[in-house]
Amino acid sequence: MCQPQIPYDPTVAPTTYNAVFHVMQGTSNPSTTQEATVTCPLPQGTNASGHVVHTDAVLYYKDFSTTNEFWCQVYDGFTDGTAYVSDMRWACQGAGGANGGCGYPTSADTGAGYLYWNSSALTWRTVDQWTNGNYGFICGIPKSNGSLSWIDTYYASY
């Protein structure tokens, strides 16, 4: 389940925390004034080798904001404080877009879709999920302009 984060920019002191609703459809942003940044962790399960190599990562969404963009990245954070992220993907018209989502921000496209990273789109540090790491998606759910946007479900294959 996705969890709200403090403001995404680590150089900004947190004055307010993002709030999200967990509903049957997924994780949504109830705010009419600001984007909600969330992390959506992916548990590794049990693996004797200490890591798995992902073939893809997929996140399904509903984007009903016509004023702000819906975006996500795959992240891999480690116990020593280092973190790696994939290229950012934005929601766009048509499921998946040409390259798993738009490679540019767009607020005009709305509706249901998915963001997709294949193994070559994941950076060398986000294709492997290690047992000493924290792996998943970080996303910006746009503010509501009458209808909620949300994250449906997500997974990574190996």
In tens, the pLDDT along 80-129 reads 888 888 888 888 765 555 557 776 777 777 778 889 888 888 877 777 77
Contact 93, 107 (CB under 8 A): no
Chosen CATH of 3-157 out of 2.30.30, 2.60.120, 3.30.450, 3.40.50: 2.60.120
What is the chain's mean pLDDT, rounded?
78
Q: What is the maximum alpha-carbon separation in the chain?
A: 48
User: How large a percentage of the chain has pLDDT more than 70?
Assistant: 73
> Residues near 107 by Cβ (< 8 Å), separated by ≥ 6?
65, 66, 67, 68, 69, 142
Residue 109 CA to residue 126 CA, distance in Å, equals 28
Q: How confident is the model at residue 77 (pLDDT cuts 50, 70, 90)?
A: confident
Q: How confident is the model at residue 27 (pLDDT cuts 50, 70, 90)?
A: confident
Which pTM does this prediction carry? Answer: 0.83
Site of tokens 């891999």: 76
Give me the pLDDT at residue 30, please. Answer: 83
